[in-house]
Each structure stands twice: as C-alpha cells, then as structure tokens.
Amino acid sequence: MTTDSRPPAAPIPPGATIGIVGGGQLGRMTALAAARLGYRVHVFTPEADSPAAQVSERATVADYLDMAALDAFAGSVDVATFEFENVPAATVERIAARAPMRPSARCLEIAQDRIREKTFLNANGAPTVPFARIASPAELACALDEIGRPAVLKTATLGYDGKGQVKIDARTDPAEAYLRMGADVGILEGFVDFACEVSVVLARDAAGRVAAFDVAENRHANHILDVTLAPAAIAPEVADEAERVAARVAEALGLVGLLAVEMFVTRDGCVLVNEIAPRPHNSGHWTLDACVTSQFEQFVRAVCGLPLGDPARHSDAAMKNLIGDEVNRFDALVRDPGAKIHLYGKGAPRPGRKMGHVTWLFPRGLGPKTPG
Ligand code: AMP
C-alpha cells in the first residue's frame, strides 16, 4: 500500500536544493553527501550553529511551528526531507503542501508514536514484542497481568535513547512505575531476553526498488547505541529474515527514502522489530567507510529520484560512538592511522550527547573486532 499514487516524478538533478528539516549530525552527513553529488542544502532548525547548518549552503533558524518561515523554506527547496523524528507532524505536513516531501508525513507519524508504530508493524506482518497502551496505573496493573514481568514501560511519544523508560521487575509497584515514566500515555512491552540487537538500513525508491545494507549488530550502553559491528554475527537465515521484514515494512509504508529497522534477535533465532526510523540512522554510520554507497548518499539518491547506489560492503567494520567526554579520545584516535574519525561540530560534550563516531575497517569476511 502506498499513500502516493502519483507516478514517480522526474529525477531532481544536481544543482537543485534539498531542504532538510532538523539540524543534527544526520542532517550534517546527509548535507555532505548531497554536496558531493552537486546538490545545495537548505536546513530548517530551531538551533543556531547546528551541525547540519555548518556544512550547508543555507539555514533557516526558526521554530518548527513558525508557519511563515516554513512556507518560505518550502518555497526555496526542490525537495524536502527530515533528519529526526521529533519534528512536529504539522511542520512536515505544512512543507509537504508546498514542496515534494520524501519520505511522506505519514511515515513520520507512524514512527513518532510507539503504539501506532507497533500496531502498524503487526498489521503488516512484522512481529514485535507483546504490548499494550497504558493511560493510568490501573491499566498498567491490568496489562502486567496479561504481558507478565519483567516488562518495560515507555512513553508513547518523544522518547529516545532510553528516556522515559522504566523497567518493571517482580517487585515494581505499577503506580510508581507509571509516575516514573513521566507521561500520560505509555506503552507496556514484554521484556525480551534477546541474543543480540541488530538493524537493517535500506533505501527504497519511488518505483519500489529496495537496496538494503548488510545486517549490523548494535550494542548499547546506558540505552544509547555504543558500538555497531558489521556484519552481524548471526546465522544467514536470520539475516535474510531481518532483511525480508525490513523490506516488508518499507513497502507497507510506501516509503521513498531511507528506513532503519531495529530488531531483537531472540535466543531461538526469531526477529522482533523494536523500532523503525524513516531516515538515516546511527546504526548505519559504518556504511560511510565500509560500503560502496553510504546510507547518506543512498538517502540523497532516493529523495532526489536518482537510481540507488550499490550498498555492497567492501570491508567489515566496527563503529564506536563518541558520547559525551569520549570525544576527548580524539588526540589518541587521530594518531591511529586506521581510525576513520567523524566529528559533528558540536560544542560542549554533555553526558549522553553524540559528539562523533569512529569506524575501523577489517578485511571483508574476517569479522569486525569490538573496539575498546
Ligand atoms: P528503545 O528506546 O526502544 O530503542 O530502547 C533502547 C534500548 O533498550 C534497546 O535498544 C534495548 O537494548 C532496550 N530495550 C528496549 N525495549 C526492550 C524490550 N522490550 N526488551 C528488552 N530490551 C529492551
């Protein structure tokens, strides 16, 4: 099912302007890929001196709900996209009324709400953990009887990197857990004792062609992605299933652009989708250095209607995020001739802030070594 029944539009050629809503590192790396292909980038973000604006031709610094600024932005771009999920849907819809928006506002709306997201996934043949909508402590107590413990209570919207998540074990009081979540509406999820976490990043073009990067394994620390290892050390049939599920989700979304699908691999080799993101993803950063075409170039190609590039992995890779003070490892990393360093141009290294990442390559087939 696609939301856009119009025939694929003509490609948007180099020289045209891509509008990116959001000013973070994903926009920055997209803008760099766009520049390499000869495009101009106009960023829309409330943040002054944002990572994306630093490397783009133009930036509008305005509130996401400043309609006049949004209209002017939409009028200045040939195509628009977004680089993070917590943009108000109204912002994207406003721009979409005046400029082609890829992916569609609908893709964003589904990904923004964990309940809508998991309902959509299950309806389209993508398995998830059992879940329930929670709007009161009583509903939580009831849902815990159904789903069992341990479980995880998450805010339905605006949560990321573990914010707004409460683990519920045998002794947790539902009323207290509900309060700790810090939102009115949440989602209760069964807790998975997973073997590993993996993700698939793929591009899909307007004609429905899909190009997926190899499945990568993700390791988190304090709920934030710490390391990605590519390829994931999983059985080929599990990797194939992960790719099949991701492609099914992209198709069901009618997605034109990039999609990241984060999954748990259970101990008996099943894949359960945890989250989807219709944009470049942290777990795809390794593709910058290890693939023929990076996720960012692929994103630009899909959004501009160009043929998709080759996602083949020429090397195995280990990507380490530089979170907060870890960016101070720069002096040592820059002396490591094999370290491919990417810094995002952010100011102070606050705890939990993604400051950059570093990727090491290994001969294809030998497997990545976990960075220290
Ligand atoms: P999320 O914000 O949903 O991406 O969650 C962040 C991380 O918390 C995940 O990558 C997992 O490591 C862990 N996590 C989230 N949900 C669950 C779950 N239902 N069962 C087990 N671990 C989870």
User: What pLDDT digit, counting tens, does each position of 58-87 carry?
Assistant: 999 999 999 999 999 999 999 999 998 999
Domains and CATH numbers, the chain: 17-111 (3.40.50.20), 130-190 (3.30.1490.20), 194-363 (3.30.470.20)
Nearest Cα neighbor of 26 from 52, 65, 58, 59 is: 52
Residue 189 beta carbon below 6 angstroms from any ligand 1 atom: yes
pLDDT of residue 3: 43
pLDDT of residue 184: 95
> What tokens appear for 255 in the block?
């997605």
To test the pocket of ligand 1, the residue of 128, 152, 157 to mutate (highest count of ligand atoms within 8 Å of its CB) is: 152
Closest atom of ligand 1 to CA, residue 161: 2
Closest atom of ligand 1 to CA, residue 274: 3
5 — pLDDT class (breaks 50, 70, 90) = very low
pLDDT of residue 158: 84
Mean pLDDT of the residues in the chain = 96
196 C-alpha to ligand 1 centroid (Å)? 11
What pTM, to 2 d.p., does this model score? 0.96
> What tokens appear for 82 in the block?
């977004």
Considering only residues 223 and 363, tell me which one the structure prediction assigns the higher pLDDT: 363
User: What pLDDT digit, counting tens, does each position of 79-137 carry?
Assistant: 999 998 999 999 999 999 999 999 999 999 999 999 999 999 999 999 999 999 999 99
User: What pLDDT digit, counting tens, does each position of 149-207 carry?
Assistant: 999 999 999 876 667 799 999 999 999 999 999 999 999 999 999 999 999 999 999 99
User: What pLDDT digit, counting tens, does each position of 230-282 carry?
Assistant: 999 999 999 999 999 999 999 999 999 999 999 999 999 999 999 999 999 99
Per-residue H/E/C for the chain: CCCCCCCCCCCCCCCCEEEEECCCHHHHHHHHHHHHCCCEEEEEECCCCCCCHHHCCEEEECCCCCHHHHHHHHHHCCEEEECCCCCCHHHHHHHHCCCCECCCHHHHHHHHEHHHHHHHHHHCCCCCCCEEEECCHHHHHHHHHHHCCCEEEEECECCCCCCCEEEECCCCCHHHHHHHHCCCCEEEEECCCCCEEEEEEEEECCCCCEEECCCEEEEEECCEEEEEEECCCCCHHHHHHHHHHHHHHHHHHCCCEEEEEEEEECCCCCEEEEEEECCCCHHHCCHHHHECCCHHHHHHHHHHCCCCCCCCECEEEEEEEEEHHHHHHHHHHCCCCCCEEEECCCCCCCCCCEEEEEEEEEECCCCCCCCC
User: What pLDDT digit, counting tens, does each position of 293-304 carry?
Assistant: 999 999 999 999
* Closest Cα to atom 19 of ligand 1: 191
